[in-house]
Amino acid sequence: MLRAFRPPRAPLARPPGTAAALPSRGPPEPQREFSVMSRSPAVSAARAAAPAVLLALLLVLPAVAAVPPPPPTAVAEVRDTLHGVEIVDPYRWLEDQQSPATRAWIDAQNAYTDALLGALPGREAMKERLARLMRADAVGTPRLAGGRYFFSRRAADQDLSVLVMRRGPDARDEVLVDPHGWTPDHSVSVTLLDVSDDGRMIAYGVRTGGADEVVVRFLDVDALRTLPDTLPLGRYLGVEIHPDRSGFHYSRFGREGARIHRHAFGADSAGDPLVFGEGRGPAQLVYVQLSPDGRWALYSVHHGSAASKVELWAQDRAAGGPVFPVVTDLDATFAGGFAGDRLILHTNWKAPNGRVLAIDLREPSRERWTEVVPERTSALQSIALAGGRVFALYLENVISRVRVFEADGRPAGEVALPGAGTVSGLSGRWDAPEALFSFSSLASPPSIQRVDAASLRRTEWWRSPVPVAPGDFVVRQEWFASKDGTRVPMFLLHRKGTRPDGRRPVLMFGYGGFRQSMTSAFRPEAIRWADMGGVFALVNLRGGAEFGEPWHEAGMLGRKQNTFDDLIAAAEWLIANRWTVPARLAISGGSNGGLLVGAAMTQRPDLFRAVLCGVPLLDMLRYHRFLVARFWVTEYGSAEDPEQFRWLHAYSPYHRVRPGTAYPAVMFVTGDADTRVAPLHARKMTALLQAASTSGHPVLLHYDTQAGHAGGRSVAKAIEDETDELMFLAWQLGVDPAAGSGSRERGAALAPSR
């Protein structure tokens, strides 16, 4: 799945989902790991049992382009009346994930999908070319502590990332945690959660499959000894090791909401004292950060995953003082870090595009707050502190720029970036001499950059060896008018020399929600699509943060339709400007982006040929009842409210399906272990579209019994997943899966299904 870019972890008031667990800033995420089409033994066995007659039909599928009918689905209508409107749900029974009837239905759907995809020629060529892009060495942005660098690394011959340390910028890599030998199928992965300030201890999460839940473990770095203290399987919003390594604070999310506890190493965790969060409701997310000297504890409270309101509370741990309020009554966001006794904060309070404030925790009254960096016309995305300076990451027309300011706000210069693209993972320490970040673009593989905080001299620390030659691909930015006249940009990626010819296979990708900015960042699947002669279009929809908080607010709650209108207008622009035609146009999105493409295809089924819909929200009248979706009411609204019901009912994809309509080909992607977005959405929508569509195009469900919403896939599974997804799109748009600069010979383009 073409996955949403996951923003870097903020040093303070962390956005949900950036530490190891649920709830993310909405269904995302983002961020880039949410494809779940890995194969489990149970699924493989079910697929192997596909009827012989079906398989015989499929053997000639590419030649005749006919698609056999899907397995039948029973209808059992449930009727509800909401605010005077009768709602009919014919597939409510598919919400019961564990019922024998649902399990049998899933097995039948998987067998059907596997037989269809397995009959397509060119899979091995597609897989081999994707593997070239995805098997290359990969390195995460380092975290600096105690003069040491901590990061994740995956070598080309490895299936999983390992946790690594360097004792200096040019020192050798020392492997700290390697999960490869833990399970035969490489289904268990690790994530770095925290590093002690002296760099001598790390906390890391152990995840099975794509679940949000992790087990938290601790490692003595110098002794390479795993401590006996662990946190059991659960959803954690953050772990903070005490500067003296005597214990840690952690935020765990349970039935009643998030609570912050303190643990002393060697003590029984059952007796860990509660330090913050008592009385907080289940729709509030609570985080903790400790100052490097250990004096201050900062507790942040996010009201809903859209985090339009953030409270800050602090505690002087050195003095043993009580928790006191810093910010409690402002409808604004706050994120940043410690500079001694001060907080340096990125906020949108009285600044829709963002500004930087300083708050001295010794005198935190509002009249003593100071503005460090005023609001600019470009959107402030995040800040990092390094060498006593503020590094501010801006988006200017969706292109990253890093400006640097002194502690008193005086401009100190700008970091010269490698080109026009995306900065992610910007990080540093107030007392450290450098900042670090990752840089890439749609056409440029990632690199890790170091910046001297004093001179602002940038040096390349690592560059991806992905085989993409400079100049082979072109990224261009285009602007179009949406339905209401708003100008919206999008990036187009294609091979050099590609021109509009009216028939290009175009794959559009979007997200449009929860303040997630979709920028020109490297995506192997996009490169593969462009290498096959296609065009990849990344649309900067309203609902994101590309142009600050107003851009987000223009695509949320009662204005959510703007997001869908933007995608539809982008498609119309691509057609009007002779890049493509509806028969060669596909859309892709996951999580909140799954809602996006679900809405687009039900509102304009004539506009698209194929839809790739991953881990989606689709029944918007019932979504808030399941798993953690109550956190997203601040972004979408709730059908329990009469006014909000009106706008949700108007666009809810599940309720927009009309029998007798020719819908595009669709492949839904989800899995049992998705504990963030309930897979019932994809199950119900698959059944509904299979019954309603008259186009003859396939409606497929690719359902994994072991995978979920979060990251953690092995690279082998990721390659299989992306191969299946691009094969589906190539089949539907008539693209040769063996095409591309790496091809030694060309095969015949797949015949689209009728």
Catalytic (active-site) positions = 591, 709
The torsion angles phi and psi of 102, rounded to 5 degrees, stand at -65, -40
- Contact between residue 23 and residue 49 where contact means Cβ atoms under 8 Å apart: no
Burial of 745 (0-12, 13-18, 19+ CB in 10 A): exposed
Burial string for 95-132 (b: 16+ CB within 10 Å, else e) reads beeeeeebbebbbbbbbbbbbbbbbbbbbebbbebbbb
The torsion angles phi and psi of 131, rounded to 5 degrees, stand at -60, -35
Both tokens of 417, joined, read 């970036």
621-622-624-629 Cα dihedral, nearest 10 degrees: -110
- Contact between residue 361 and residue 341 where contact means Cβ atoms under 8 Å apart: yes
Name the one residue in this structure whose structure tokens are 């966001």.
333
Amino acid sitting at position 528? R
The torsion angles phi and psi of 535, rounded to 5 degrees, stand at -125, 130
Residue 94 to residue 511: CA distance in whole angstroms: 26
Helical (H) or strand (E) element with 370: strand 370-373
Neighbour order of strands in the sheet with 535-539: 473-481, 487-495, 535-539, 506-509, 585-590, 610-614, 665-671, 699-704
The torsion angles phi and psi of 315, rounded to 5 degrees, stand at -145, 130
- Contact between residue 335 and residue 10 where contact means Cβ atoms under 8 Å apart: yes
436 by DSSP, 3-state: which?
A: strand
Distance of CA 55 to the CA centre of its chain: 36
Amino acid sitting at position 128? E
Name the one residue in this structure whose structure tokens are 């539809």.
568
In 377-534, where do the E strands start and end? 379-386, 389-396, 399-406, 411-415, 422-428, 434-441, 444-452, 458-463, 473-481, 487-495, 506-509
CA distances from 272 to 69, 269, 290, 741 (A): 57, 5, 17, 58
Torsion over CA: 709, 713, 719, 720 (sign):
negative
- Contact between residue 335 and residue 324 where contact means Cβ atoms under 8 Å apart: no
In eight-state DSSP terms, residue 307 is T
Both tokens of 630, joined, read 């109550």
Both tokens of 226, joined, read 């795993």
Amino acid sitting at position 389? R
| 355 DSSP β-pair partners | 347
329-335-340-342 Cα dihedral, nearest 10 degrees: -30
Percent helix, strand, coil in the chain (nearest 5)? 20, 35, 45
Residue 595 to residue 317: CA distance in whole angstroms: 45
Neighbour order of strands in the sheet with 334-339: 334-339, 342-347, 355-360, 370-373
Instruction: Report the length, in residues, of the chain.
Output: 754
Residue 688 to residue 657: CA distance in whole angstroms: 7
Residue 682 to residue 210: CA distance in whole angstroms: 17
- Select from 591, 600, 610 the least CA-distant residue to 483: 600
Residue 384 to residue 393: CA distance in whole angstroms: 8
Helical (H) or strand (E) element with 316: strand 310-316
